[in-house]
Amino acid sequence: MIEFRKFILNNGLRVIVHEDRSTPLVAMNILYDAGSKDEDPDLTGLAHLLEHLMYGGSANIPEYDTPLQLAGGDNNAFTNNDITNYYLTIPSENIETAFWLESDRMLDPDFTQKKTEIQKNVVIEEFRQRYLNQPYGDVMLILRSLAYTIHPYRWPTIGMDISHIEKITNENVRQFFNRNYAPQKAILSITGNIDAAWAFNLADKWFGSIPGRHVNARILPREPEQEKPREITVRRNVPSDALYKAWHIGPRTADDFYTLDLLTDLLAGGESGRLYNRLVRNLNLFSEINAYITSDFDPGLAVISGKIMKGVDIETAENELIKVVDELKDGAVSDTEMEKVRNRYETSTVLSNTNILHKAMNLCIYELLGNADMINTDVARYRKVTKQMVSESAIRYFRPANCSTLYYLSDKPAE
Amino acid sequence: MDNFRTKQPPVKPVSAITGVPVENRVLKNGISLFMIDAGSEDVARIEFVFKAGMARETIPLLAGTTNMMLAEGTLNYTAEELNSTLDFYGIFQNLSADRDSASLNMLFLNRHIEKAMELAGEILFRPVFPEKELSLMMKKRLAGYRISREKVQNIASDSFFESVFGSNHPYGRPVKEKDFEAITPALVRDFHSEYYTPRNMAAIISGKIHEDTPHLFEKHFGSFSDSKLPAGNSLNIINVSDAGKIHIEKPEAVQTAIRIGSATINKRHPDYPGLKILNTILGGYFGSRLMKNIREDKGYTYGIHSSVTSLDQSGYKVISTETGKQYCTSAINEIYREISILQKEPVKNDELEVVRNYMSGEMVRMFDGPFAIADSFKAVWEFGLDFSYFNRMMETVKTIGPEEIMRLANLYYNIDDLHEITAG
């Protein structure tokens, strides 16, 4: 049970504090309800570029990192389709530096043309390093644009194309900040070795005076239901063929989210998942196989991906994969298997609770989803999933008409 | 307005608490047991460590394959049964082998500790290395190897180690496709019986430790005996090759991977803490000179890092980055320029203060929670050292001066001794 207190400042900023005295550190997490889904389709990659630029200094601070390092702190951030999240840990005696830094860049970050141009370069190198210069690196770029036709999940957070990043201006950055980084669109959590009342005082002192900004309500196009199978074949200079299949599912807050999470764990969790046992261990069709749900806030995807063993025909591999999934529809799952995936979930939850940074992040995410207390109640929702619910969800979502398939083939000449 | 925002709140110096007690027992059969009792949740982690890393292997892949095959079938469990049992109890298992050691890590809720120990005993001391599983393992590893060889980072790293440690020593010996065919069940079985023995092993348990934990270790591990004499030193000898430049062409790559570095001292050397600090200034943290210059000022790369790593028989330092092809030469020139500045100009106090405090904070993080403490313990224990190493490090972080940093830069970063590898 994670005990926490919550407080809303006058400007709308939500503050959550959880004390954990077993550590000398404090973790601070700031989540902004803004991600790549809030971008203009012609200017993708902007939310993530802005995350980089938030380190370039703010109204009263020339640069973010040095003062934090001077206080013994360590930080990072990530952007995804839904949110932008900044996090740090710092020895508790120096926590006020974290409040000073984070509140100043929420108040008024200092975007300049020069810094924007340099960070555009850094992000373009990141694009090359992680997506273009890696075998299979462009898979999500292709799969997203196949599975989604109008919803902004059709592009990845890094951006649809390098040309989008190249044309972003300093003015675009400023505008995106003003629209999305208001206090009422943010959630601040503080966990670890700190007195809750003291934390609220500091939050009020540093964040309370940031004026609320007007923000427009988010209106996103709803992805229409997929009515027939989609597929695409690409050929790349990679050593083995790979198969990617994605089915549309509901949003993170849907009742069956928990069922689907356990369902993909039944398929590919640990070394004893059904897909691994059948397709890797017994039939030797794949060299690796994975299944997961995207955990997107808006309707997301269930994805199964695998690398095909050399000499195996991709169609044969796909047919056997579908058989394994179809068995779930027929109620093939045993009580022991259900108990197994629930137990695995329990261990990972307890482990996650040993870490103040995980707790800080989860509190913010759950609060954005509706209620920070879900950090405590989620375990029970996983416990309630039954075999029947698994087969119902498999029937409902894992239909050919709801599926997008990417055949990623090797055109590497034999050596 | 907002006058209070213009100045950083007062910063207090921080110190890591390195005096964490580690309780040591020796089981009847010689297994060393270390216990670190900390943390608030009722979970524990056991790391079983063997001196069974690559340094012991006679042919490539043997140490890693033996390690990964441990959970592929035992006397009492098939691979499938073993993995479903581990998963059923929510026990997270991880096998790994690096240059010097090999280990099995198990994470579990304490109510399953006996099951975890029973299964660990099976995995470590009763593996049967079935031929069918081994052949599948080699096919999987070969597929993974082929993918990894497509990445310029891996091509450059492999070439770097070969250049630094020579192609005859396991630290530097490159792996080839044909090596995947050479591994047989007999070789794996021999490697296992020689190096996975009670006397060649330590168990480090961290988390919430209950009173009966030592008793449980004795019950589950105390009866295994060494099947062979304790392993002697391997005959592998490092032939350090001359520094030089190597370029590996990969025409379709859109970036070039750069590795610059050389063999160096390890944790047992008195200069090591100072070298760690020098490395931090150069490229060991986000505010480092290489990051500030090459990423934040020039935008040549997404990231650039330098690191110093201790090995049992040596050590190495390396600067790594990936840059767009058009920036490669400029980035390399800037790397050498930053090294020579460290050799010629004393570090200013402001910068040194930031590094002192940042590293102090890092040391606090290294002792935050049971698992971090266990990792820190293992990192010194493997070198025959104890936590006093961290006290020396802390002391050096607080007291080192600009002159000493310049001395170390001249002694350890002689540009003519550095190996420079590019792939892309």
B 311-330 residues with CB < 8 A to A: 322-324
Q: Is the pLDDT of residue A87 over 60?
A: yes
In Å, how far from its chain's centre is CA B382?
Answer: 11
CATH code (residue B53): 3.30.830.10
Look at residue A386 in the predicted model and tell me its pLDDT.
96
Taking contacts as CB-CB distances below 8 angstroms, the residues of chain A near B38 are 22
Identify which of B151, B323, B358 has the shortest CB distance to residue A134.
Answer: B151
Classify residue B158: in a domain, yes or no.
yes
Residues B348, B303 within the same domain? yes
Is B361 an interface residue toward A (CB < 8 Å)?
yes
Nearest residue in B to A123, CA atom: B302
Please state the ipTM of this predicted complex. 0.90
- Three-state DSSP class for residue B352: helix
What digits encode the pLDDT tens for the residues A340-377? 999 999 999 999 888 999 999 999 999 999 999 999 99
β-partners of residue A302 are A247, A293
Give the phi and the psi of residue B31 in degrees, each rounded to 5. Answer: -70, 130
CB contact under 8 A, A240 and B143: yes
Q: Which of B108, B152, B361 is closest, CB to CB, to A73? A: B361
Confidence band for A414, pLDDT divided at 50, 70 and 90? low
Residue linked to tokens 């608030």: B40
Q: Determine the residue among B104, B296, B323, B422 to mutate to test chain A binding: the one whose Cβ has the most chain A Cβ atoms within 10 Å.
A: B296
Helix (H, G, I), strand (E, B) or coil at B96: strand
Q: What is the DSSP letter of B3?
A: G
Same domain, yes or no, for B201 and B251?
no
Classify residue A205 as exposed, middle or buried by CB count within 10 Å of its CB (0-12, 13-18, 19+): middle
Residue of chain A whose Cα is closest to the Cα of B71: A271
Is the CB of A105 inside 8 Å of chain B's CB atoms? no
> Cα(B385)–Cα(B221) distance, rounded to whole angstroms?
25
B97 falls within a domain: yes
Q: Tell which residue, A13, A19, A8, A10, has the closest CA to residue A198.
A: A19
Contact A74, B292 (CB under 8 A): no
**How far is the alpha carbon of A283 from chain B, nearest alpha carbon, in Å?**
10
Shared domain for B264 and B346, answered yes or no, is yes
Query: Comparing C-alpha atoms, which of A32, A100, A71, A12 is closest to residue B2?
Result: A100
- Do B216 and B296 reside in the same domain of the chain? no
Whether residue B408 sits in one domain with residue B282: yes
Considering the domain boundaries, does residue B3 fall inside one? no
- Answer whether A45's CB lies under 8 Å from A159's CB: yes
Domain enclosing residue B201, as ranges: 23-221
Q: Which of B86, B109, B361 sits opposite A74 (nearest CB)?
A: B361
Q: Do B8 and A118 touch (CB under 8 A)?
A: no
For residue B11, being part of any structural domain is answered with no
How far CA B384 is from CA of A187, B136, B150, in Å, comes to: 47, 38, 38
Identity at A274, one-letter amino acid code? R
CA–CA distance, B84 with B86 (Å, rounded to integer): 5
> Is residue B238 scored above 80 in pLDDT?
no
Chain B residues whose beta carbon lies within 8 Å of the beta carbon of residue A11? none
Query: Is there a single domain that holds both residue B282 and residue B174?
Result: no
The single-letter code of the amino acid at A313 is D
Q: In this structure, what token pair is assigned to residue A140?
A: 């999500």
Closest-CA distance, B104 to chain A, in angstroms, reads: 15
Size of interface A-B (CB pairs under 8 A): 215
> In angstroms, what CA-CA distances link A209 with A14, A107, A204, B173, B299?
14, 9, 8, 61, 35
Contact A91 B361 (CB under 8 A): yes
**Interchain pair A122, B92: CB under 8 A:** no
CA gap B234, A162 in Å, rounded: 51
> What's the token pair of residue A223?
């992805």
For residue B379, the distance in angstroms to the closest alpha carbon of chain A comes to 21
Do residues A241 and A409 touch, judged by C-beta distance below 8 A? Answer: yes
Give the pLDDT band (50/70/90) at residue A214. confident
Strand, coil or helix: B8: coil
Question: What is the SS3 assignment for chain A?
Answer: CCCCEEEECCCCCEEEEEECCCCCEEEEEEEECCCHHHCCCCCCCHHHHHHHHCCCCECCECCCHHHHHHCCCEEEEEECCCCEEEEEEEEHHHHHHHHHHHHHHHHCECCCHHHHHHHHHHHHHHHHHHHHCCCCCCHHHHHHHHHCCCCHHHCCCCCCCHHHHHCCCHHHHHHHHHHHCCHHHEEEEEEECCCHHHHHHHHHHHHCCCCCCCCCCCCCCCCCCCCCCEEEEEEECCCCCEEEEEEECCCCCCCCHHHHHHHHHHHHCHHHCHHHHHHHHHCCCEEEEEEEECCCCCCCEEEEEEEECCCCCHHHHHHHHHHHHHHHHCCCCCHHHHHHHHHHHHHHHHHHCCCHHHHHHHHHHHHHHCCCCHHHHHHHHHHCCCHHHHHHHHHHHCCHHHEEEEEEEECCCCC
In percent, the amount of chain A with pLDDT more than 90 equals: 93
B270 and B178 inside one domain: no
Which residues, at least 6 apart from B342, have a Cβ–Cβ distance to it below 8 Å? Answer: B278, B281, B282, B289, B405, B406, B409, B413
**A21-25, A98-102, A264-268, B116-120: least confidently modelled range:** A21-25
Which tokens hold the place of B383? 């070198």
pLDDT in tens, B320-372: 999 999 999 999 999 999 999 999 999 999 999 999 999 999 999 999 989 99
Task: Say what percent of chain B tops pLDDT 90.
Answer: 89
Q: What is the pLDDT of residues B308-319, one digit of tens each?
A: 999 999 999 999
Q: Specify whether the CB–CB gap between A250 and A53 falls below 8 A.
A: no
Q: Is the pLDDT of residue A121 over 60?
A: yes
Residues in A 212-241 with any Cβ partner in B closer than 8 A? 237-240
**Residue to test with chain B: of A61, A70, A345, most B Cβ within 10 A:** A70
Distance in Å, alpha carbon of B360 to nearest chain A alpha carbon: 6
Name the one residue in this structure whose structure tokens are 């840990």: A89
Same domain, B271 and B317: yes
Using CA coordinates, name the residue in chain B closest to A270: B87
Is A24's Cβ below 8 Å from some Cβ in B? yes
- Among residues B310, B224, B226, B333, the alpha carbon closest in space to that of B264 is found at B310
pLDDT tens digits, B248-283: 999 989 899 999 999 999 999 999 999 999 999 999
Q: Check residue B230 and give its pLDDT.
A: 47
Mean pLDDT of B74-100: 96
Q: Does A184 touch chain B (CB under 8 A)?
A: no
Position B260: which residue type? I
The verdict on A161 touching B (C-beta cutoff 8 Å) is no
Q: What band does B229 get if pLDDT is binned at 50, 70 and 90?
A: low
Q: Is A306 on the interface with B (CB under 8 A)?
A: no
- Reported as half-sphere exposure (CB side, CA atoms, 13 A), residue B63 has a value of 23
Residue linked to tokens 């179809």: A326
In chain A, which residue's Cα lies nearest the Cα of B293? A118
pLDDT confidence bin for B92, thresholds 50/70/90: very high
Partner residue opposite A133 with nearest CB, options B86, B253, B299: B253
A230-410, what's its fold?
Cytochrome Bc1 Complex; Chain A, domain 1 (3.30.830)
Instruction: Tell me, yes or no, if B131 comes closer than 8 A to chain A by beta carbon.
Output: no
Q: Cβ distance A126 to A77 under 8 Å? A: no
Nearest Cα of chain A lies from the Cα of B116 at a distance, in angstroms, of 13
Q: Which of residues 372-411 of A touch B (CB under 8 A)?
A: none
CB A188 within 8 A of CB A29: yes
Q: Would you tell me the crossing angle of helices A314-329 and A387-397 to the nearest 10 degrees?
A: 130
| Spatial contact of B138 and B120, defined as CB atoms under 8 Å apart | no
Taking the C-alpha atoms of residue A129 and residue A122, their distance in angstroms, rounded to an integer, is 10
Per residue in B133-169, pLDDT tens? 999 999 999 999 999 999 999 999 999 999 999 998 9
Nearest Cβ partner for B354 among A69, A99, A135: A69
Residues of B in contact with A117 (CB under 8 A): 299
As a whole number, mean pLDDT of residues B101-113 equals 97
pLDDT, tens digit (0-9, with 9 covering 90-100), for B4-39: 999 999 999 888 776 788 999 999 999 999 999 988
C-alpha pair distances (Å), B148 with each of A406, B10, B157? 22, 48, 11
Q: How does the average pLDDT of chain A come out, rounded? A: 95
Which of A60, A99, A340 is opposite residue B84, by nearest beta carbon?
A: A340
**CA of B383 to nearest chain A CA: how many angstroms apart?**
27
Asked if the structure places residue B393 within a domain, the reply is: yes
In the structure, what pLDDT confidence band is assigned to residue B234 with cuts at 50, 70 and 90? low
Whether residue B14 lies inside any domain: the answer is no
The single-letter code of the amino acid at A288 is E
Interface test with B, best of A287, A290, A355 (most B CBs within 10 A): A287
Chain B hits for A20, CB-CB cut-off 8 Å, are: 40
The residues, ordered by sequence, that sit 6+ positions from A363 with a Cβ below 8 Å of its Cβ are A2, A4, A16, A18, A29, A189, A191, A372, A375
Residue B287 makes CB contacts below 8 A (sequence gap 6+) with A65, A66, A69, B354, B358
* Cα of B18 to nearest chain A Cα, Å: 12
Contacts of B150 in chain A (CB under 8 A): 134-135, 237-239
User: CB B296 to CB A118 under 8 A?
Assistant: yes
Instruction: Using DSSP bridges, classify how beta strands B43-50 and B201-207 pair: parallel, antiparallel or unpaired.
Output: antiparallel
Q: Are residues B124 and B264 in the same domain?
A: no
Q: Which residue from A24, A122, A347 is facing B90, i.e. has the nearest CB?
A: A347
B84–A contact, CB cutoff 8 A: yes
Q: How much is the pLDDT for B235? A: 53
In a domain, B9, yes or no: no
Check CB contact of B6 with chain A, cutoff 8 Å: yes
| Average confidence (pLDDT) over A187-206 | 97
For chain A, percent of residues with pLDDT exceeding 70 = 99
Task: Spell out a b/e string for B54-73, using b for 16 or more CB atoms within 10 Å of the CB, else e.
Answer: bbbbeebbbbbbbbbbbbbb
For residue B227, what pLDDT is reported?
63
B58 Cβ contact partners less than 8 Å away, ≥ 6 residues apart: none
The Cα A23–Cα A353 span in angstroms is 13
Question: What total number of domains does chain B contain?
Answer: 2
Closest CA to B295 of B334, B265, B239: B334
B253 neighbourhood in chain A, CB within 8 Å: 133
Residues A38, A298: Cα–Cα separation, whole Å? 12
Q: Which CATH class is domain A5-207?
A: alpha beta
Q: How far apart are CA B365 and CA B415, in angstroms?
A: 33
Q: Is B367 helix (H, G, I), strand (E, B) or coil?
A: coil
Instruction: Sort residue A231 into left (φ over 0), alpha (ψ -120 to 50) or beta.
Output: beta
- pLDDT digit string (tens) for A43-56? 999 999 999 999 99
CA B40, B42, B44 angle in degrees (round to 5)? 100
Using CA of residue A101, residue A78, residue B289, residue A55, what is the dihedral sign? negative
Say which amino acid occupies A44.
T
B43: left (phi over 0), alpha (psi -120 to 50) or beta: beta
Confidence of residue A269 (pLDDT cuts 50, 70, 90): confident
CA-based radius of gyration for chain B: 24
Q: Is A201 on the interface with B (CB under 8 A)?
A: no
* Partner residue facing A287 (CB), from B91, B109, B143: B143
Q: What is the mean pLDDT of chain B?
A: 93
Where in the sequence of chain A do the CATH 3.30.830.10 domains occur?
5-207, 230-410
Domain assignment of residue B36, yes or no? yes
